[in-house]
Structure 1
Amino acid sequence: MSRTMLTLATSVTFIYLGLCAALFIFQRSLIYFPQPRSLDRGVVMITLQVDGAKVLVTTRPHNGPNALIYFGGNAEDVSFNLPSLATAFPDHAIYLMHYRGYGGSSGKPSEAALFADALALFDQIRTEHPNIVVVGRSLGSGVAVHLASLRPVARLVLVTPFDSIQELAAHQFPYLPVRWLLLDKFESWKYAARVDAPTLVMAAEHDEVIPRTSTESLFTAFRDGIAVLKIVTGTSHNTISDSPEYIPLLQGQSSN
């Protein structure tokens, strides 16, 4: 090999290793985009103490057996959903968890932290509300599937879900060894087979963020008879909740 070719090969190798190092170091900043809390005045908050972190939960208290837990997307202020969810579910207590680093919660988000916080929230409210609907949107679908695989969820709704963040990242960075570098993999397909709750998988017809193949792969990971797939026409990843079909589907109403 000539000196020029050797120099070129060495430069390419260093650039490639630099890209791998950058992805490893900054990977969580590519997954999580913490947002402030928009609703504050007149809102009831509860605080979860989990592993030294204070995780805030925006709530609408309601007596009775029914509750709804909502896990949002990676750049979502979940408190924004409280008015519409409270109206749509008048007989449910509503709980919207602010991930670590989001909405005033302390700590930093990670897959392990979000999973632990979701389990802690479920266990705390189940003492008062044994009938809990769990809704997870986008990133929150990964949290919701994991929770439903370990706890007796009454019903599970997954909005614009994926089968695995690892697979999405591998598709986005095809020339990098993502499977070796990624810390937070959110392999929802792995947990789906353990879910017993009736499940709705809700996909946007024109989702530009989560490929349809990823959503359909997750759907097929559930056992037969557990999940139903619904494509919400005329919507994208961020506009699916604007559809007139969205709230009725959350409520469990059939739609043709």
Structure 2
Amino acid sequence: MRIFLRVLAGLVALLVIAYAGVVGYMYLNQRSLQYSASGEITPLDGTLLSRAEAVEIQSGDGVLAGWYEPPQPGKPLIVYFKGNTGSFTAEHERYEQFVAEGYGFLAFDYRGFPASPGEITQDNVLADAIASYDWAAEKGFPMVIWGRSLGSGPSTYVASQRDAEALLLETPFLSAVTVAAERYPFLPVHWVMQDQFPVNDWIADVGEPVMVAHGTADVVIDVSNGERLYELVPNKDELWIEPGAGHSDLWARGIWPRAEAFFERAMAQ
């Protein structure tokens, strides 16, 4: 019996040490695990954006690289907050569609993403978001905000701090720590995660009309995140849940016509 208890105690000790090792590894490497910041930069002259310009925006101790084009009369400027993968330049097809319909846009990389040197932290992402919005606001055009995936965090934060015409959230999370807890239910992520992006808290201070778009086959951020977040929206406009759509499918599934109709409704208010 004594031998059995000693073996059992040894196994328990090994499990505790292994668990502590996993938690320690994830704590020390959490940002490299959380963000996917590598990727190629598409040159502006390699797109159809013939009237857009490359811009630099000062933010904290860094400079953000972005693209900007003003809107046509009667249209708003879309401030676009990118997702977690690669550079904003990879989504030039979206910006080309924006300007084809007369919308202006500002898109950029947060510090630490391919086009903007610096360190990725929640504080830096939020500061970059505010700096970019304020830079665009100085142009004097009506403003609408579009946040995709990771961008649902900074876009909601900006909408809670500034007055835009509308906020569109594409595949948003309830919070980043919610997604982490769903993915790693055996880890104490609420205690150790540094960049939690509590969108569920920030949304309470968003006065703009809000549209949420999500797909039922999203395996990166479960659709329940978008559904639960929409329940918390003070000024609801539309919840669009697309059956069978994955995390990166909504553009091909027709989010732009819905977004344009949403922006037109918001501008008419």
TM-score, normalisation: structure 1: 0.91
Q: Is the 8 A contact 1:100 1:108 kept in 2?
A: yes
**Equivalent AA in structure 1 for residue 136 of structure 2:** I
Q: 1:150/1:81 Cα in 2 relative to 1: closer, same or farther (>3 Å)?
A: same
The two structures, once aligned, show a CA RMSD in angstroms of 2.0
Q: Which residue of 2 aligns with 1:6?
A: 9
- Mapped to 2, the partners of 1:162 and 1:220 lie a distance apart of 13
Q: CA deviation at 1:191?
A: 0.7
- Mapped to 2, the partners of 1:138 and 1:235 lie a distance apart of 14
Q: CA deviation at 1:93?
A: 2.3
Mapping 1:99-118, distance limit 5 Å: 99-118=110-129
Residue-by-residue CA offset, 1:217-255 (whole Å, 9 max, x unaligned): 1111112x4342111234211111111x2110121259x
- Stretch of structure 1 that moved more, 98-107 or 191-200: 98-107
Q: Which residue of 2 aligns with 1:33?
A: 36
- Stretch of structure 1 that moved more, 102-111 or 14-23: 102-111
2:157 to 129, 146, 158: 146
Residue-by-residue CA offset, 1:120-152 (whole Å, 9 max, x unaligned): 111112121341111011111111111101100
For this pair of structures, how many residues does the alignment match? 252
- Stretch of structure 1 that moved more, 90-99 or 35-44: 35-44
Q: Within the alignment, does 1:220 sit opposite 2:231 as a pair?
A: yes
What secondary structure, in the 3-state scheme, does the structure 1 residue paired with 2:135 have? helix
**Equivalent AA in structure 1 for residue 188 of structure 2:** P
Point out where structure 1 has 5 or more consecutive residues left out of the alignment. Answer: none
Q: Is the 8 A contact 1:86 1:94 kept in 2?
A: no
Mapping 1:121-200, distance limit 5 Å: 121-200=132-211
What secondary structure, in the 3-state scheme, does the structure 2 residue paired with 1:229 have? strand
Q: Which residue of 2 aligns with 1:47?
A: 56
Q: Within the alignment, does 1:58 sit opposite 2:61 as a pair?
A: no
Identity %: 26
What secondary structure, in the 3-state scheme, does the structure 2 residue paired with 1:179 have? helix
- Mapped to 2, the partners of 1:129 and 1:110 lie a distance apart of 30
**Equivalent AA in structure 2 for residue 29 of structure 1:** S
Q: Is the 8 A contact 2:211 2:262 kept in 1?
A: no
What secondary structure, in the 3-state scheme, does the structure 2 residue paired with 1:235 have? coil
Q: Is the 8 A contact 1:60 1:86 kept in 2?
A: no
Q: Which residue of 2 aligns with 1:75?
A: 85
Q: Which residue of 1 aligns with 2:20?
A: 17
What secondary structure, in the 3-state scheme, does the structure 1 residue paired with 2:29 have? helix
**Equivalent AA in structure 1 for residue 259 of structure 2:** L
Q: Is the 8 A contact 1:193 1:222 kept in 2?
A: yes
Point out where structure 2 has 5 or more consecutive residues left out of the alignment. Answer: 264-269
- Mapped to 2, the partners of 1:85 and 1:105 lie a distance apart of 19
Q: Is the 8 A contact 1:39 1:80 kept in 2?
A: no
- Stretch of structure 1 that moved more, 36-45 or 102-111: 36-45
- Mapped to 1, the partners of 2:70 and 2:6 lie a distance apart of 72
- Mapped to 1, the partners of 2:62 and 2:260 lie a distance apart of 32
- Mapped to 2, the partners of 1:96 and 1:88 lie a distance apart of 12
Q: 1:253/1:104 Cα in 2 relative to 1: closer, same or farther (>3 Å)?
A: closer
Residue-by-residue CA offset, 1:16-49 (whole Å, 9 max, x unaligned): 1101101101111122111332133366211122
Q: Is the 8 A contact 2:82 2:88 kept in 1?
A: yes
1:251 to 244, 256, 260: 260
**Equivalent AA in structure 2 for residue 249 of structure 1:** R
Q: Is the 8 A contact 2:86 2:114 kept in 1?
A: no
**Equivalent AA in structure 2 for residue 17 of structure 1:** A
